[in-house]
A and B are shown apart, each in its own frame.
Chain A
């Protein structure tokens, strides 16, 4: 219990503006990464052709 209290005091405490901007940046990065995953998947299918999905396993 004592250790846990000490841990919370160590480190940097972000103020509300810093937390808000970090959350917004994280959301933007997440959305961009998700869009890139979809885009690269679609490009792969286009470049290799749809038959790439139709192969014996």
Chain B
């Protein structure tokens, strides 16, 4: 046995993590997770039949963690372009608080853990759908579409739209038309939401080499497509009421807020230069978040209310 006296490494050369738990939490893209929790909850609540509260809660937790895991895998792969863009350069990997390998390991472990937990707690249809969602976001969107086509967030938006379907499958073991309608709302909402932000950050995307619609096809084309998707979204947002799984209160709110969405998209379409153009894009971006929270929030609250009244009555 040899006793090594002369240590050939220097302590400073070793990468010893100084990452805090909050850095790992940031890898999960918490703001996206909140939206996933709300939309998946809407899928669970509107699913046919009855699911035990605890099973519903753990399913929701697994779906949220699965979405967070795909966010961590996205940050691992996109660290190079995140470091270039002002909006993303403070993320844990490009800022050096977490290494790429740590982010990859974290994302993979949480992916497997969330899928298997959902499979064991709910059912394997829901687990398969969650696995597909993670694969779609991390591989199809992040590794392929994002750097290849300006339609990246149109097709990739499907990943963000899946949670209601996964939630419905977890609660009922099946995929219903109701959950497909909720999927369609999020799917049509994603392009105007992201492109409103991309108009403001067009230079960033150009420098990072990401072909987003504004820098790849031009701002005029982006404004037109925002308007088209908004015109498609507004009536689809009313469908939950027309299909009978939301109340007239939801119906009125969805019509009014949908008209508001189209009005703001029209403002983005009309104002094309200077500060008015920027403020129009900012307004639509902020309103789009409010719009989705409003629709799904009302859906969850009134479904929960009906459930409670049913139990009491």
Contact = CB atoms under 8 A, between A and B. Distances in A.
Contacts of B19: 21, 25
Interface residues of A, number: 17
A21 B7 CA distance: 26
A14 B16 CA distance: 8
B308 interface: no
B20 interface: yes
B247 to A, nearest CB: 30
A18 B16 contact: yes
Interface in B37-65: 52, 54-55, 58, 61
Interface in B1-54: 7, 11, 14, 16-21, 24, 52, 54
Interface residues of B, number: 16
A13 to B, nearest CB: 7
Contact of A24 (B7, B20, B58): B20
Interface string A1-36: 000000000101110011001101101100000000
A21 B20 CA distance: 5
Contacts of B11: 12-13
Contact of B20 (A12, A13, A25, A42): A25
B222 to A, nearest CB: 41
Task: Tell me the interface secondary structure of chain A in the complex.
Answer: helix
A42 B54 contact: yes
A41 to B, nearest CB: 11
B263 interface: no
Interface of A: 10, 12-14, 17-18, 21-22, 24-25, 27-28, 39, 42-43, 46-47
23 contacts: A10-B7, A12-B14, A12-B16, A13-B11, A14-B16, A18-B16, A21-B18, A21-B20, A22-B17, A24-B20, A24-B21, A25-B19, A25-B20, A25-B21, A25-B24, A28-B24, A39-B58, A39-B61, A42-B54, A46-B52, A46-B54, A46-B55, A47-B55
Given A12-B11, A21-B17, 19 more contacts: A10-B7, A13-B11, A14-B16, A18-B16, A18-B17, A18-B18, A21-B19, A22-B17, A24-B20, A25-B17, A25-B19, A25-B20, A25-B21, A39-B58, A42-B54, A43-B54, A43-B58, A43-B121, A46-B55
- State the 4 A-B residue pairs at the shortest beta-carbon distance, nearest first: A28-B21, A21-B18, A18-B16, A46-B54
